[in-house]
Amino acid sequence: NSITNVTIDGNTIEGNGGGIWIYQSDGNRITNNTITDSSAFGIQLDSTGNIVTGNTITVTGGAAGNAIVGQSGNTTSPNTIR
């Protein structure tokens, strides 16, 4: 069973393989988080109807193009990508 309508707000996540991963969970809000030094992705969305806004994401290594993965069907701006 999936959980829906969760808010992830105001967290600092650093030095991980990945930052925040939403898997089969729709209608969530990911806001005002700072994610740094994630080697695979900053935020990954494997669901729809999520709102991702106000986050600051800095990815490293080969993940430079993977700040926010799975944007289709989700609202993903504005965020700061470095």
- CB burial string 31-70: b at 16+ within 10 A, e below: bebebbebebbbbbbebeebebebbbbbbeeebeebbbbb
Average pLDDT of span 47-63: 86
The closest alpha carbon to 42, from 60, 24, 23, belongs to 60
> Does 63 score more than 60 pLDDT?
no
Give the mean pLDDT of the chain: 90
pLDDT at 20: 95
pLDDT digits (tens, 9 = 90+) for 5-15: 999 999 999 99
More confident residue, 76 or 71: 76
pLDDT at 39: 83
